[in-house]
Amino acid sequence: MERFSILNPNLFEDFLATCDSHLNVVMVKILKGEFYSGDIDIKISLSTVEDEIKIPREGNDFEIKPFVKPIINFSVKSNLKKSFSDKGASDTDNMAIELSDKFIKIGKIDDGQLDFLD
C-alpha cells in the first residue's frame, strides 16, 4: 500500500492536470488583458464504500475478500472577472427599523419618543 496523499500520481494525476489547466487558462487571459482577475474553486469530495473482490483459487474455487474502497471526486471551476465593483454602506446611525402591517418602516430615533416610528 502507498501513502494516501494529493502528491500520489496514481490517485490525483487527473486532478492535478485539471488544476494546472485551469491555472494556465486563467493566467493567460489575465496577462492578455482579456480579464482583470480570476478565481479557481477546487472541491474534493471523499467517501468510502464497502466492496469485495473474488480471489481465484484452484479450479473453479475462489475466495471472497471484503475491503473498503475509497471514492474520490473532484471539481475545478474557473471564474474570470471583467467588472469592477464598489462597496459602501448607508448611514443608519440613530435609526430604527420594524415590520408593521406587512410594511417595513424606517425612521430616525428621537430621544423623547416612546414609539420610534410614529
Asked, for residue 87, whether it belongs to a domain, the answer is: no
Provide the domain limits for residue 43.
9-82+92-108
Asked, for residue 113, whether it belongs to a domain, the answer is: no
Q: Is 47 exposed, middle or buried (0-12, 13-18, 19+ CB in 10 A)?
A: exposed
Asked, for residue 64, whether it belongs to a domain, the answer is: yes
Q: How many domains does the chain have?
A: 1
Confidence tier at 111 by pLDDT (50, 70, 90): low
Provide the residue count of the chain: 118
Asked, for residue 77, whether it belongs to a domain, the answer is: yes
Q: How high does pLDDT run on average in the chain?
A: 84
- pLDDT tens track for 6-58: 888 888 999 999 999 999 999 999 999 999 899 999 999 999 999 988 888 88
